Structure formats: structure tokens, C-alpha cells
Amino acid sequence: MKKKLILIATSLSIFFWPISANAYSDQILIGGDNIGIHIDSNGIMIIGFYKVDGKFQKGSKEIEVGDVITKVNNKDVFSIEELTKEIDKNLNNNKIALTIKRDSEIFETELELKEVDGIYKTGLYVKDGISGIGTLTYIDPGTKIFGTLGHEIIESTSSKRIEVKTGTIFDSSVSKIIKSTDGKVGEKNANLNYKDVLGTITKNTLYGVFGSYTDTLPNAKAFAVGKPDEITTGKATIYTVLTNNEVKEYDINITKINPDTNIKNITFEIIDEQLLKETGGVIQGMSGSPIIQNNKIIGAVTHAIVDNVKNGYGIFITTMLEEGEK
């Protein structure tokens, strides 16, 4: 009988612009566009375990959910395909050496392969990438650096930040809105066009996802950058998509400004009746929607307040711009 290996995997425009003393431009192109996001992880993430022959396989040094496999038998692996290939070379040994990264720690462990009915099993659920949607916040026309989301992307099972090996942003269109209600945040559903690549992702940080915009610069509005000390409570607007690819402006009211937090710098409430009618409040997929006040871009939407979904948080745009330039 031919022996097989089973490894369970889950996946998921030229313009002249004035340059300021900062690394970023004085005026930046605002987004509001719905985009698809895909990141290939720098290593293979362990997202769970299944029982083999009645028990869990955890390795000679215990493996945990959220650990990242970087090598198999001292061979670098970056995808599930590469992982499977390297394991397949060593089926006769019944054991494999794994190099594991856990936060800043690197360690070695040995994992025993179990043969069940002619099939070798690892006991690991793994993932090598993640896909989703968000809202493009800005493009710097001077450098073509873009920023989106205003917060990090984490793997939902492990709650660990995805370390970027490669990644892209691409065209997508909103197909459906699931409304938010207090206690439950709704979401945008979208059709993803993976082939229509708009840019490459270089990093996933606490302050957002950043990279290089590779497509022709869009015919978008350019706004001056608003500094934190220029932001006031009161009226502002956000730009986002609720239907297909149509970016629209909606009214919000800024209720609080907090410069002492990392990303929840701006607290706001949605006051636009049309937006509330269609979404119920802040929804998933709205992250990254640019916030405009007094004809300046001042921030981006980052979070809903779950118990009162008409309210949400935003990050200062200067924080995103500075992070994108690093």
C-alpha cells in the first residue's frame, strides 16, 4: 500500500506634489476604496491540533497555537506546499525536526509522525496566509506608499499578528452589507478580484498595513495632512464604500481626542442618517476609512465600540504616515 501524508491546511494616477520637511508629502491622496488584502506569512502558522491515534501530538518541546514553523529538518519552509514536501522526504524516519518561532524565541522540537491506515498524520492544523477586505486610507503621491486599516491584521485562532513574507492589495467590490446592532458588529461582504493587483504589502504593524502602490495613481482627492493639535471635537466626515466600488462621504461627530493611546486616538459617533440606515453603525471592512475635518485628512477609522455600534475609534493619520515611511 502506498503511504500518504495528511497535513490539514486552512486558508483562507504622474503629478508633481510638494514635499514637506516630513518624509511624507504635504498633500496625500485619500482612499475610501474597498480593497482586498492578502498576506503570505513568513513561515507556517500553527492554528490548532487534532488527535492522532487518540492523543494530541505536541512535539518533544511542546508546540503551541500561534507558533510558526520556519524550518523542517533544517530546510527553510514558507508555504504549506513546501512543508508537506519536506515532511514527505522523511516519512521513513517517522520523525521530523521542526524549527519553531514563538514571538522572539527560536527553538527546535522533534515531532513524531503517526501512521494510521497507511496515512502519515502530523496532528497539526496549519495556515500559510490570510485574506480579507478593508478600506484604503491613503496613497502618498510622492513616494507611492499606501496605508490601510489603521490596525494590525491578526490570525483569528491564535490572536497573533501575521508576519509578512509577501502580500498584495487588490480590487474588490462590496456585494452586501450585514448591519451592526449593539453587541454585534456587522460587516461588508465583497467580491474579490485577486488578479487586479493595486500594490504590494511590505509590513503589518500595530498602526496598519503598509506597502507600495504599484498601479497607476487613482484620480482621487488630495487633502492636506492634519496634525493632532489641529483636530477638534465636532463635525467631520469619513469616506467609504457601501455598494460596489462607489466611494461616498458620510457625516460623523468627533466626541473625544486622546493623544496618549496608540491607535484609539479619535472617538466619534456616526450622525449620517443614510449611513446608519444602511449599516446600523461601524462595521467590519470599514477599517481604514479616511477621516476628514476642515479640508484636511486627520485619521482613519479603526474600531467599532461593540456595545454602542454608532460609535467608533480612529487613529491619527500622522501616526500612519510616519509608520508607513519607516
Q: What angle is formed at CA 37 by the lines to CA 34 and CA 40, rounded to 5 degrees?
A: 175
DSSP class per residue in 217-272: PPS--EEEEPPGGG--SEEEEEEEEEEBTEEEEEEEEEEEE-TTSSS--EEEEE--
Q: Is 287 a catalytic residue?
A: yes
CA diameter of the chain: 73
- Cα distances from 293 to residues 214, 239, 288, 290, 323, in angstroms, run 28, 12, 16, 10, 22
Yes or no: say if 281 and 304 are a contact pair by the CB < 8 Å rule. Answer: yes
Residue 272 catalytic? yes
What does the alpha-carbon distance between residue 75 and residue 183 come to, in Å, rounded to a whole number? 47
Contact between 168 and 130 under an 8 Å Cβ cutoff? The reply is no
Task: Single out the catalytic residue among 25, 172, 180, 287.
Answer: 287
Catalytic entry in 151, 172, 289, 303:
151
What amino acid positions are annotated as catalytic residues?
151, 272, 287
